[in-house]
Each structure stands twice: as structure tokens, then as C-alpha cells.
A = this chain, B = another copy of it.
């Protein structure tokens, strides 16, 4: 697999690309995607394992991901009800570049923190 596609950035296309990226940018989507990457998951499992997410936000995040075709929702009508979420093929393909970005963040975390400390240390105004 090549790292092709010079990613055109004509304003028109760029706008839509931005919209797609804003989904990645929201507070929880990436965490949910990364969690679902390992295996499909029930609602309550996600709630437990995606650290700090509220019920409301988990629902909203999953609905948006479902709407974008990144996650599929499977209801098993039982008592109590059971709902499983899993990444679609599209979702899995997104997980790859997201993962790359996560790896970058992890690898360069220390350097970023150092830069921040240095920046904050050069006190502009006491």
C-alpha cells in the first residue's frame, strides 16, 4: 500500500475535508473508534471503558459515527436489551490514519511538553 494521494487542497474540497476532520476532532470520537478497533462492544462496555465519557455523549458520539457510516449498530431484542457497536469497513479504514496520528502524538508527547514548558517559561508578562 502506497502513501499516495497528494490530498488536493482547493478551497472547495478543503472545506469538505475539514468537515470530515471535525468529526475526528471532537472530544470522544477517536477514543470510541480506537476502542472499537479491538473488538465490537456493547453500549455499557463502551461507557465503562472509554474513560470519563458521559452517557449522553456516548450516545451522541455513536449516533454521529453511525450516521457517517463508520460504526454499525446491532440491536438484539432481549430482556434486558442488548446493543452492539462495531466498526464498519469504512470505520476500520479510518482507524489506520487515526492510529498513525495517535502514534505520532505518543512519540512526540515529551517534545511537545518540553516546548510548552519552554514557551511558558519565557514569561512575557509576570
Contact = CB atoms under 8 A, between A and B. Distances in A.
Interface string A1-37: 0011111110101111110111011110011001000
Nearest to A116: B67
Given A70-B112, A97-B101, 15 more contacts: A5-B103, A7-B99, A14-B31, A16-B105, A20-B105, A21-B30, A21-B102, A22-B27, A25-B25, A66-B119, A67-B120, A68-B116, A69-B112, A69-B119, A97-B103
A94 interface: yes
A20 B97 contact: no
Contact of A30 (B8, B18, B30): B18
A96 B114 CA distance: 21
Contacts of A51: 11, 14-15
B20 A112 contact: yes
Contact of A17 (B66, B68, B105): B105
